[in-house]
């Protein structure tokens, strides 16, 4: 059963606020990790770590866009779109990692940045759950 366009607009506005909060939290955690890396003498890995954060933010934004599109589709069409979107995001992420490696980024630190971004997602989600209690 499709959702009304007014409901999608409200959902998009709420998701926009959530994306903004998440982006700020990811930025704060990334900057804290960058500061720790610099203090520990590993400053040369900061660009790789920041790339990982950016990749995960873009991946999450693409997922949110897909979720908004799914809200107005039938169940079967929505499932197909979710699966196709996941496959596309996965391929794009692999291609981005291959390109990063080719450009000289250090992949373990890119993965570390991805982990930092996911920790931010966990923290933001936990805060939202506490807000709804």
d(CA 14, CA 32): 27
pTM over 0.85: no
* Residue 15 pLDDT: 63
Residue 78's nearest CA partner among 86, 87, 89, 66 is 66
The whole-number pLDDT of residue 111 equals: 95
Q: What was the pLDDT predicted at 51?
A: 96
How deeply is 15 buried, as exposed, middle or buried, from its count of CB atoms within 10 A (0-12, 13-18, 19+)?
A: middle
CA distance 70 to 92: 20
List, run by run, the mean pLDDT of 10-residue segments along the chain (133 residues).
Answer: 44 65 89 94 94 92 82 81 90 96 96 92 83 77
Is there a contact between 74 and 11 (Cβ–Cβ < 8 Å)? Answer: no
């Amino acid at each position: 059963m499709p959702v009304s366009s007014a409901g999608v607009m409200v959902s998009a506005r709420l998701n926009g606020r959530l994306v903004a909060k998440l982006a700020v939290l990811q930025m704060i955690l990334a900057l804290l990790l960058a500061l720790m890396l610099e203090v520990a003498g590993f400053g040369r890995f900061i660009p790789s770590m920041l790339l990982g954060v950016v990749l995960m933010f873009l991946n999450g934004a693409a997922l949110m866009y897909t979720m908004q599109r799914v809200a107005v589709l039938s169940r079967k069409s929505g499932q197909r779109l979710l699966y196709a979107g996941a496959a596309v995001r996965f391929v794009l992420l692999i291609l981005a990692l291959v390109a990063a490696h080719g450009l000289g980024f250090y992949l373990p630190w890119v993965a570390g940045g991805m982990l930092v971004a996911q920790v931010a997602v966990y923290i933001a989600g936990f805060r939202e759950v506490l807000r709804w209690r």
